[in-house]
Amino acid sequence: MPHYDIASNARPNAGLCRGIQLLCGVSLFASGLLSGCQKASAPPPVAPKPPEVTVAVPVTEDVQEFEETTGRLVARESVEVRSRVSGYLDKALFKDGDNVQEGQLLFHIDARPYEAELARATASVAQAKARFERLKRQEERARKLFLTKNTTQEELDLISADRSEAEAALEALEATQRLASLNCEFTKITSPISGRISRRLVDPGNLVKADDTPLVTVMSLNPIYAYFDIDERTILKVERLIREGKIPSPRDSKYQVLFALADETEFLRQGEIDFLDNHISMTTGTLRLRATVENDSLLLTPGMFIRLHVPIGNPHSAILVPEESLGSDQGQRFVYVLDDEDKVTYRRVKIGMLKEGRRVIEEGLGLKDRVVVSGLQRVRAGVKVTIKQTETKNENLKDAAPKSPGSQEAKAPAEAKGTTGTTSKP
């Protein structure tokens, strides 16, 4: 086989050259096929449609700030009835859970031993009284005899001493008689107050020990107390208002509170604060207060759970927005506000009390601001939105709210201003 030196000027044969040319043609053909299989470039993305939101204009109303807390109803008077004498319980003269009146007979203890003791004491008093009368007359005769020199001073002094001794013995026996009479009265146990009685704790036939065995409990129902606690921050706020002369002190004037029972949603019941404790609890950091509540219908029962609204300060005008328009960002409350171009602006606010589904805004919002109510999840600061609906309850602020360009609300006739809400389209 002939050998060709590549470095030399010798030329390869014609077959080799044709093979190289064929290989190059195949490569060019394959490149053309691949380039022909590629897809055409995608069109540029379409801009997303602006999110639709509902906005609301803040309203102004007179509001009364209050502190919401919980409490319990407590009987104004509560007495655990015990017997003042020992003995066997003879009768229970009431029905468990009844309403009883002061002085009503509740129990009867076997009084026969105490009646016998009273009879003995009465006889002893009669005996001592007879002796005292005898010595008294004897002393009178001795004094007459002493004046006529028919008796000595020593005899007179002895008779006078006997009379004084009999008098003292009579007084002691009369005291014993009164005690025996009291014990007889104590065998009839009456209710010390008017109220509702509990179940009896001892059945007839059992031995009752004086001042030891509890028999029943009676609680007064009308009026009734409501005890509740106020935190230290609220206490300081109220104290500053009192020192500034804006409100009177609850210690010196009548202060009303509103409360609701466990199954009530509106705070329609009323009480009057009549007691403030003299110290703040170091355990809870709260001050204990008490209100007196009238209970003519006897619906309220000691131990009931209640929710209270304690007013703070006097009513004042405030800005309110729907509660659903508020968001939370690391403990800070904020709202989304639309500018004149319907772009979203992030605005931090300071909130106050909640009133009928609307939140008081203390700082950060004006009357002409438009607040995003619905669609908060679809918006962010700087994004332009489409107003789907505008809500307002303040008629005089409706025209002051900026309108979106081209909206139906901006084109509405003047006579349509009396409506409280309109639907607008971009």
291 and 359 co-located in one domain? no
SS3 content of the chain, % helix, strand, coil (to 5): 30, 35, 40
Residues 334/339/343/348 CA torsion (nearest 10 deg): -10
**What is residue 234's predicted lDDT score, i.e. its pLDDT?**
87
3-state secondary structure of 118: helix
Smallest CA-to-CA distance from 426 within 394, 390, 393 is with 390
Give the structural domain span for 270.
66-76+222-311
299 and 394 co-located in one domain? no
* Residue 7 forms part of a structural domain: no
pLDDT under 70: residue ranges of the chain: 1-47, 389-426
197 forms beta bridges with 218
On whether the CB atoms of residues 166 and 138 are closer than 8 A, the answer is no
**What is residue 178's predicted lDDT score, i.e. its pLDDT?**
94
79 forms beta bridges with 218
158 and 242 co-located in one domain? no
**CA dihedral (196, 201, 202, 203) positive or negative:** positive
Count up the domains in the chain and report the number.
Answer: 3
**What is residue 373's predicted lDDT score, i.e. its pLDDT?**
87
264 and 300 co-located in one domain? yes
For 260-294, b where at least 16 C-beta lie within 10 A, e where not — what string?
eeeeeeebebebbbeeeeeebeeeeebbbbbbebe
Tell which of 282, 311, 340 closes a domain.
Answer: 311
142 and 169 co-located in one domain? yes
Smallest CA-to-CA distance from 404 within 393, 419, 388 is with 388
Read off the pTM.
0.63
332 and 418 co-located in one domain? yes
pLDDT one-digit tens code per residue, 293-336: 999 988 999 999 999 988 887 777 888 888 888 888 888 888 88
Rounded Cα distance between 230 and 284, Å, is: 10
324 and 400 co-located in one domain? yes
Which CATH number covers residue 245? Answer: 2.40.30.170
Q: Which two tokens stand for residue 292?
A: 């007196």
Strand 370-374, strand 332-338: pairing: antiparallel
Rounded Cα distance between 91 and 211, Å, is: 18
- In sequence order, what are the residues at sequence separation of 6 or more whose Cβ sits closer than 8 angstroms to the Cβ of residue 319? 58, 59, 60, 360, 361, 365, 366, 367
DSSP assignment letter at 13: P
Rounded Cα distance between 416 and 426, Å, is: 19
**What is residue 395's predicted lDDT score, i.e. its pLDDT?**
42
User: What percentage of the chain exceeds 70 in pLDDT?
Assistant: 80
326 and 341 co-located in one domain? yes
* Residue 241 forms part of a structural domain: yes
323 and 282 co-located in one domain? no
pLDDT one-digit tens code per residue, 238-286: 888 888 887 888 887 888 899 999 998 888 899 999 999 989 999 999 9
Strand 358-363, strand 316-322: pairing: antiparallel
Tell which of 131, 161, 186 closes a domain.
Answer: 186
**CA dihedral (231, 236, 242, 247) positive or negative:** negative
363 and 301 co-located in one domain? no
* Residue 204 forms part of a structural domain: no
* Residue 87 forms part of a structural domain: no
289 and 386 co-located in one domain? no
**CA dihedral (297, 303, 304, 305) positive or negative:** positive
Cα 425 to the chain's mean position, in Å?
Answer: 46
* Residue 173 forms part of a structural domain: yes
Which CATH number covers residue 378? Answer: 2.40.420.20
pLDDT one-digit tens code per residue, 92-104: 999 999 999 999 9
* Residue 6 forms part of a structural domain: no
* Residue 215 forms part of a structural domain: no
For 93-109, b where at least 16 C-beta lie within 10 A, e where not — what string?
ebeeeeebeeeeebbbb
328 and 412 co-located in one domain? yes
* Residue 307 forms part of a structural domain: yes
Tell which of 186, 201, 234 closes a domain.
Answer: 186
Smallest CA-to-CA distance from 323 within 277, 371, 288, 364 is with 371
**What is residue 113's predicted lDDT score, i.e. its pLDDT?**
93
Cα 298 to the chain's mean position, in Å?
Answer: 21
**What is residue 106's predicted lDDT score, i.e. its pLDDT?**
95
Which CATH number covers residue 168? Answer: 1.10.287
